């Protein structure tokens, strides 16, 4: 029977969605196996001097803002980041104050990046849930059409092709989600590494 494979795949997809439950009921749309931590804790990444007096002020310094953007970008290798941090702080009149300002910028920027990624993941999860419902209803409709005494092959083909496309998009998104789930952890690790670099320079 034509479309038997796509029906089997579609039913498997909808069964998976029904069985999938968020690990933490507080975040029903969180799709990752990693626990959702909404924000990075400052105490978890920074052991240097208090930053209360510099939070938000880094944006007023064009040089710091440009350096924050460069260091926060994951495409900038950590070796290059270390060199840029050393050069910047060695040229500063007050190393500690400049280091605090730089890290405050990195902390705010990377936390914002992280929130953006996490919100995107939850948005995709909601789309996946909607897509699974559509796949489920289209699968049932296709099975009904195939069971009719006088089959309308044109309708069957149209719905069958639509279902193939829907399941392909669903599976592609699932692959993207799995990949993007690693990003918040990568941001955490980057921020921790940059914090250590700055602290070592100002100690």
Range of the domain at 90: 4-20+48-202
Query: Residue 24: its pLDDT value, please?
Result: 73
Q: With 90 as the cut, is the pLDDT of residue 180 above it?
A: yes
Residue 33, in any domain of the structure = no
Residue 37 is assigned to a structural domain of this protein: no
28 within a domain of the structure (yes/no): no
- The Cα–Cα gap between 48 and 59 comes to 20
* Predicted local distance difference test score (pLDDT) of residue 9: 60
Residue 83 lies in a domain: yes
Residue 43 has pLDDT above 70, yes or no: yes
**Any domain includes 176:** yes
* Per-residue pLDDT tens digits for 99-132: 999 999 999 999 999 999 999 999 999 999 999 8
User: What's the structural domain count of the chain?
Assistant: 1
- Give the Cα separation of 31 and 23 in Å (integer): 9
Confirm if 139 and 10 have CB atoms less than 8 A apart.
yes
CATH number, domain containing residue 103:
1.20.120
Q: Establish if 121 belongs to a structural domain.
A: yes
Is 30 part of a structural domain of the chain? no
Across all residues in the chain, what is the average pLDDT?
A: 88
Could you tell me the pTM of the whole model? 0.82
**Tokens linked to 43:** 């105490």
Residue 153 lies in a domain: yes
């Amino acid at each position: 029977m034509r479309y038997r494979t796509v029906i089997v795949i579609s039913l498997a997809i909808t069964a998976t969605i029904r069985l999938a439950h968020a690990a933490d009921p507080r975040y029903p749309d969180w799709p990752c196996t990693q626990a959702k931590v909404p924000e990075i804790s400052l105490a978890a990444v920074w052991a240097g001097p208090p930053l209360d007096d510099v939070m938000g002020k880094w944006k007023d310094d064009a040089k710091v803002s440009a350096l924050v953007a460069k260091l926060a970008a994951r495409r900038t290798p950590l070796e290059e980041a270390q060199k840029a941090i050393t050069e910047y702080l060695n040229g500063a009149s007050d190393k500690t104050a400049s280091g605090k300002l730089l890290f405050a910028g990195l902390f705010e920027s990377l936390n914002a990046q992280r929130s953006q990624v996490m919100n995107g993941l939850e948005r995709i999860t909601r789309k996946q849930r909607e897509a699974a419902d559509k796949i489920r209803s289209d699968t049932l409709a296709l099975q009904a059409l195939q069971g009719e005494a006088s089959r309308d092959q044109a309708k069957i083909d149209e719905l069958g092709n639509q279902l193939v496309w829907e399941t392909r998009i669903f599976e592609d998104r699932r692959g993207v989600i799995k990949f993007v789930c690693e990003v918040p952890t990568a941001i955490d690790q980057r921020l921790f590494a940059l914090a250590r670099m700055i602290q070592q320079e100002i100690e």
